Each structure stands twice: as structure tokens, then as C-alpha cells.
Chain A
Amino acid sequence: DTGVSQNPRHKITKRGQNVTFRCDPISEHNRLYWYRQTLGQGPEFLTYFQNEAQLEKSRLLSDRFSAERPKGSFSTLEIQRTEQGDSAMYLCASSLVPNSPLHFGNGTRLTVT
């Protein structure tokens, strides 16, 4: 078990471009979460999946953001028409059951220029 894996680690893109990040959770974990973290802040919840079902989306997640987990395993987070305010660390986490600790990946750092 290699833990939660996120790719890429870093992404630099120009404003207006689309970007996609991938998260591979711990294999037996059925819950997968996306968080966003900016400097000096704690992680902010974006969305979560139980298996392939996306059960909740934060109001932070504008319609430019979309997340999928098509087979209940890996997940992708796409940001369309990126803006400079999207620059942040995007963290993925997984857990086995509710109230069990989240296991985080090392994140994808997005810089929008």
C-alpha cells in the first residue's frame, strides 16, 4: 500500500487554460475527498465521493470545477478556464468509513499565471 497518490505534483498554467488533476486513493478506501489549501489557511472542503457517487459539493466549487470518480477508484478534478484565484494546493484524501481519519496525498500545487 503506497498511500494516496496525486499527479502531477506541480502544475503551472496560463489563465484561461483547463487543467486536470488525478488522485489514486488507498485501494480499499471507499470515500474520497478533495480539499483546497492556500497559504496560511487550513484545508477547505471541495467535494467528496462514496464509491463512484459524488455526494456533496462545496459552494466553493464553482461551475468551472468538476470532479469524477467513474469506477469508484481513482478520481479526477478538472478546472476549466482557470483564474489566478485558483492558484492553491489541491489535496486529495481517502478514508474507509465515516469518522475514520482521512489519509492525504501530497497534493498538486497549481499556479495560474
Chain B
Amino acid sequence: DQQVKQNSPSLSVQEGRISILNCDYTNSMFDYFLWYKKYPAEGPTFLISISSIKDKNEDGRFTVFLNKSAKHLSLHIVPSQPGDSAVYFCAASGQNAGNNRKLIWGLGTSLAVNP
């Protein structure tokens, strides 16, 4: 059972436009959410996170929005750049993960930013 779902396997946008990547979760105990970016042959790189006590967190071109009632979060990239082309993973953790706070991951969305 996939507790973190990224329903779009791929997304293509034009350079300079907004990229919106979506993530849904099913476990109401999740209270911390992260987005990672992964290039081929590299490990995931942390991008941005949000705690469940907030509904928005912004860092430069990256903004994450959290809608707890809908169990939905999204990552906005504005403006999109060709170097943003990568696979983006949504991940979540919660109190029921114990002291470990291990992350539960989505399957990823492959973003292509076209010049």
C-alpha cells in the first residue's frame, strides 16, 4: 500500500514557466514532509521541507504548500530552469515511525524543463 503517492510519473514545462509537482498521502499521522531532487547516478538531494504546523514554506524559487485536510502537498518551482530537470521525490515521516522518523517515499515525478 503506497502511503505517499505521486500520481504524475512525468511533467514537461517550458523554461521560465511554473512547475507544479503534486503529492498525496494517506497516513494522517505524517507530520513532516520533504521534497528531494535526484539526478541520474546521484543520490537524492534535499530541496525543501514543511512541518504540519505550517501550510507554506518558501526557499528561493521553491515553495511547498501543504493542505492537511486534503492530505495533499505540492512543490512549485518558479521560474523553472533547464537545470531543474530531474526526478522529484516527495517523502513523509510521522510520529508512528517512532524515534527513527524514517521517511516514506513516493515513486517520483520526472520533470523536464525545455529551453
Contact = CB atoms under 8 A, between A and B. Distances in A.
A79 interface: no
Contact of B101 (A40, A42, A93, A98): A98
Contacts of B4: 42
B100 A102 contact: no
Interface string B98-112: 111111011110000
Contact of A105 (B43, B98, B99, B102): B43
A40 B103 contact: no
Interface string A41-56: 1111100100000011
A42 B106 contact: yes
6 contacts: A33-B102, A42-B89, A44-B105, A56-B102, A99-B93, A104-B43
Interface string B20-55: 000000000000101010000111111001000000
Contacts of A107: 42-43
Q: Size band of the B side of the interface?
A: 20 to 34
Contacts of B42: 106-107
Interface string B69-89: 000000000000000000001
A110 B93 CA distance: 27
A71 B40 CA distance: 32
Interface of A: 4, 6, 33, 40-45, 48, 55-56, 91, 93, 98-99, 101-107
A73 B91 CA distance: 26
Given A42-B91, A43-B44, A102 B103 contact: yes
Contact of B99 (A6, A55, A101): A55
Contacts of A4: 43
A56 B108 contact: no
A53 B41 CA distance: 30
Nearest to B48: A101
A40 B106 CA distance: 10
Contacts of A98: 99, 101
| 3 cross-chain pairs, A with B, having the tightest CB-CB distances, nearest first | A42-B105, A104-B43, A101-B46
Contacts of A42: 4, 89, 91, 105-108
